[in-house]
Amino acid sequence: MQSFPYEIKSFETDYYGAVSPKTMMSICIYATSLKAVSEGLLPEDLYDKHGAVWMLARINVEQYSHVHMGAIELCVSSRCISGGTYTRRVDVVQNGNTAATAHIVFIVVNIEKRNIIRPSVIEDTWPNIIEPVKLSPVRKIILPDNMEQFGEYSVEYKECDANRHFSSANYAGLICERCGYWSGKQKLMTNIQIEFNAEFKPGESIELFKGSKGEMQYLRGVHSGGATGFVASWSVE
């Protein structure tokens, strides 16, 4: 694990002075980019050599305590290769305590052809890169049977990134806005997992379906044609 210092600013905290699930997810994704650059896996090289970019396939964040304004350490693992994916682990440490752990699964996608490039092709580009590590797999979400329609969400340009689709951390923001995270007293999202199947672009409407199983809640976002765009699970205390 390699450690990177990070300073939580006041504008990165919520009403309660804590980092929200959306911001936590964004910081963890940012940490993986720092680690990739430190290994020599520069995004511009990936694009120049393969016409490709990193894209998130799946992210799981377990949070044990709130993170507040001030210094934190982002401890990031080397890459784990499994099948056609890369996975990295990020530990968020504040005041000597691990406040959150994220496992983030990436794929490499050719922008023009929209096809996945396997890690074996990418690894040959950087022959001197350090050996990958082993990490526990991020298991896929199994949705409950009792999913019910839960309205729609319209994607706006301001919510999209340079890849021209709804950006990853905004899915956590959508969950918080629509599923009661901000109602009542302060909450801790102890676990959140999002799986990305097909991106949503500006102007698209996401048809939402919600369900629950035990302490876990679930959300499925569907395109107008019926294809699943994302699925998510989370628990709150």
All structural domains of the chain with their residue ranges: 2-123, 148-236
- Tell me the pLDDT tens digit for each residue of 144-190: 998 999 999 888 888 888 777 788 889 999 999 888 899 889 999 99
pLDDT at 124: 77
Give one word for 151, left, alpha or beta, with left for phi > 0 and alpha for psi -120 to 50: left
| Domains 2-123 and 148-236 belong to one CATH topology | yes
Please check whether the domain covering 2-123 is classified as CATH 3.10.180.10. no
pLDDT at 102: 97
User: Does this model's pTM top 0.85?
Assistant: yes
Which one has a higher pLDDT value, 113 or 99? Answer: 99
Which one has a higher pLDDT value, 184 or 28? Answer: 28
| Residue 127 pLDDT grade (very low, low, confident, very high; cuts 50, 70, 90) | low
Average pLDDT over residues 127-151: 88
Cα–Cα nearest to 46, from 33, 58, 57: 33
The CATH classification number of 148-236 equals 3.10.129.10
- Tell me the pLDDT tens digit for each residue of 215-230: 999 999 999 888 999 9
